[in-house]
């Protein structure tokens, strides 16, 4: 496949940045969830 | 003594920001994304003009679509937030979460477009109308997020950022039609062209739509989780404040006794 480096870089950057944001979101949710009682969470 | 000492102890595993709905959305997003990656790399043919660089398009176009969707969602939620500003901060939280996700996707649109441009035009960047207006849109929403981070009353933050969001969304038609309004290096729309003619092979078009679906699911998952994060932070602040007041009152009553 021609220009594989550019194509891979595009996909890795896109999926990687989404993955990092998702991981940070989950980690922060874990931290904050411990500090808030379940009955105060409207979605529970 | 920490103001959270009395409130932080939640027995057992605390419920997080996920629910059955978000888990379903997450699984669907993963499956659809996996299909798009396989199809983009191994199933779809190289383009007759662009060659293999067209494989970048299956990431570039969906990120642009989701960025537009995110900014429109931010504007709609901001409108509701302004209309119901005395009732709840829920719409403001959705607006903020959508703005954050939109900025990430817009950054990826610029990056993947730049890499594609290097292969197709021979340069990473040109001050072309589409590229310039897209960069301007990106910077506007970075500013929007900066305004949201100003340490102030949440209702004042909601009001200020809602006004900015409602103004900023007006840039989207300018970006989308920039290739028609001005002479541009950037190609015109292949799917949503003004004449309604779709200029793509069937599998390429299907993969492109699957990419849009996959990234839209990712967007929904991220926005739901991130708006709940903001809600948790707000609740913690309120609970912490209540605990601090209670602690202060108990200390004061102890002194009086």
Q: How far apart are CA B139 and CA B61, in angstroms?
A: 19
Domain carrying residue B132 = 20-45+55-228
Residues 177 to 196 of B: which have CB under 8 A from any A CB? none
pLDDT for B23 equals: 95
CA distances from B89 to A34, B95, B152, B179, B232 (A): 22, 10, 14, 38, 12
B249 is a domain residue? no
- Residue B51's DSSP bridge partners are B47
Residue of B nearest to A11 (CA): B59
**CB-nearest partner of A43 from B19, B116, B222:** B19
B247 touches chain A (CB under 8 A): no
Cross-chain residue pair A35–B108, CB shorter than 8 Å:
no
Closest chain B residue by Cα to residue A22: B222
pLDDT at position B155: 86
CB B162 within 8 A of CB B95: yes
Q: What is the pTM of this model?
A: 0.86
Total domains in the fold of chain B? 1
Residue in B78, B67, B79 with CA at minimum distance from that of residue B222: B67
Q: Check: CB of residue B92 under 8 Å from CB of residue B157.
A: yes
Confirm whether B235 is domain-assigned: no
Residue B51 sits at φ, ψ, to 5 deg, of: 70, -145
Residue B242 is assigned to a structural domain of this protein? no
Domain presence at residue B110: yes
d(CA B161, CA B155): 10
pLDDT at A2: 81
Query: How is B171-225 classified by DSSP, letter by letter?
Result: HHHHHHTHHHHS--SSPPPSSS-TT----S-HHHHHHHHHHHHHHHHHHHHHHHH
Residue B157: inside a domain: yes
Give the domain CATH number at B115: 1.20.120
pLDDT computed for residue B197 by the predictor:
65
ipTM of the modeled complex: 0.94
B136 in any annotated domain: yes
In percent, the amount of chain A with pLDDT more than 70 equals: 100
Q: Is B140 inside any structural domain?
A: yes
> Which pLDDT belongs to residue A35?
87
Interface list for B 102-121 with A (CB within 8 A):
104, 107-108, 111-112, 115-116, 118-119
Asked whether residue B108 is assigned to any structural domain, the reply reads: yes
**What pLDDT sits at residue B11?**
47
From first to last of its 257 residues, chain B has per-residue pLDDT tens of: 333 433 444 445 667 888 899 999 999 999 999 999 999 999 999 988 888 999 999 999 999 999 999 999 999 999 999 998 666 789 999 999 999 999 999 999 999 999 999 999 999 999 989 999 999 999 999 999 999 999 888 888 899 999 999 999 999 999 988 888 887 777 766 666 656 666 678 899 999 999 999 999 999 999 999 999 999 988 888 776 676 677 777 777 765 54
């Amino acid at each position: 496949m021609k220009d594989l480096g550019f194509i891979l870089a595009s996909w890795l950057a896109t999926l990687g940045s989404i993955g990092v944001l998702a991981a940070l979101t989950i980690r922060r949710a874990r931290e904050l969830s411990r500090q808030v009682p379940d009955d105060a969470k409207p979605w529970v | 003594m920490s103001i959270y000492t009395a409130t932080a102890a939640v027995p057992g595993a605390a419920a997080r920001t996920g629910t059955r709905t978000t888990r379903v959305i997450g699984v669907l997003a993963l499956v659809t994304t996996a299909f798009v990656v396989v199809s983009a790399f191994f199933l779809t043919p190289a383009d007759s003009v662009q060659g293999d660089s067209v494989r970048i398009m299956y990431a570039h176009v969906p990120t642009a679509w989701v960025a537009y969707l995110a900014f429109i969602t931010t504007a709609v939620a901001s409108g509701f937030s302004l209309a119901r500003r005395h009732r709840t901060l829920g719409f403001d939280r959705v607006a903020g979460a959508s703005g954050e996700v939109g900025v990430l996707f817009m950054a990826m649109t610029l990056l993947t477009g730049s890499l594609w441009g290097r292969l197709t035009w021979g340069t990473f960047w040109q001050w072309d109308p589409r590229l310039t207006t897209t960069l301007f849109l990106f910077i506007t929403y970075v500013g929007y997020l900066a305004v949201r981070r100003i340490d102030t009353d949440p209702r004042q933050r909601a009001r200020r950022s809602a006004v900015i969001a409602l103004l900023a969304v007006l840039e989207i038609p300018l970006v989308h039609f920039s290739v028609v309004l001005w002479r541009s290096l950037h190609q015109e729309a292949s799917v949503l062209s003004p004449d309604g003619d779709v200029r793509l092979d069937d599998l390429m078009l299907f993969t492109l739509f699957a990419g849009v679906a996959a990234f839209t699911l990712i967007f929904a998952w991220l926005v739901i989780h991130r708006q709940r994060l903001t809600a948790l932070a707000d609740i913690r602040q309120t609970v912490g404040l209540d605990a601090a007041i209670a602690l202060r009152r108990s200390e004061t009553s102890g002194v009086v006794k």
